[in-house]
Amino acid sequence: MFKVDLGDSAVLRPLEPWMAPEFLAHMDRARATVDPWIPWASVSTDLESARNTLQRYADKQAATGGGVYGIWLDGTLVGGVMFPQFDPGTGNCEIGCWLEPAGTGHGLVTRACRTLIDYAIVTRGLHRVEWRCRPDNTASANVARRLGMTLDGTLRSQYPWKGVRHDCEVWSLLAPEWPSRQ
């Protein structure tokens, strides 16, 4: 298994189905702050559902190369980054993230997302990386800005959450804009 040193006693590595107990404990700590933003946070509530969430990403990893990766700080899982969409055929992908309160303020998500973008653009040759977030998720939009993404627009009333439809901002970064490609 690989791991990427993110600095400051933090590492990035794959989150795999056998890690479901640790993932579930993390989700229990993080659920209140990530549930509005990550659709599967509210459905990963027991060992079976947590394992199923990780298995779906393991299947994506095997099929396309997209997956889910945990961020460990001082040995504790505190968040992660993922490819909700990864399509080598079209050259497009989407990245996303989440973080429990214990992991905030360290720049971990930004550093981990840079690793994913570098993989998508440099290693896999994808052309477009997307970032999607609700307009009221300022922390997420700030990460997109730090990554050098451009706000393409807002999809109005794009998805429901707990009976209310929400807008979705779409940010993007193109391969020629990525610093390691320049």
Closest CA to 180 of 119, 131, 132, 129: 119
b/e 88-127 (16+ beta carbons within 10 angstroms → b): eeebbbbbbbbbbebbeebebbbbbbbebbebbbeeeebe
Rounded percentage of the chain residues whose pLDDT exceeds 90: 80
Whether residue 1 has pLDDT greater than 80:
no
Range of the domain at 138: 4-181
Note the pLDDT tens digit of each residue in 57-112: 999 999 988 899 999 999 999 999 999 999 999 999 999 999 999 999 999 999 99
Q: What CATH number corresponds to the domain at position 28?
A: 3.40.630.30
Closest CA to 97 of 6, 165, 162: 6
What does the block give as tokens for 58?
């393991």
Whether residue 56 has pLDDT greater than 50:
yes
Closest CA to 72 of 167, 4, 173, 145: 4
Whether residue 182 has pLDDT greater than 60:
no
Of residues 182 and 56, more confidence is placed in 56
Of residues 55 and 163, more confidence is placed in 55
Q: How much is the average pLDDT of 151-160? A: 93
pLDDT for res 141: 95
Dihedrals φ, ψ of 27, to 5°?
-60, -35
- State the CB neighbour count (10 A cutoff) for residue 13: 16
Whether residue 114 has pLDDT greater than 60:
yes
pLDDT for res 34: 86
Q: How many domains does the chain have?
A: 1
Q: How much is the average pLDDT of 159-169? A: 89
What does the block give as tokens for 23?
């993932």
What does the block give as tokens for 36?
């509005």
First to last CA, the chain: 30
Per-chain mean pLDDT for the chain:
92
The C-alpha atoms of residue 57 and residue 86 are separated, in whole angstroms, by 11
What does the block give as tokens for 174?
């193109």
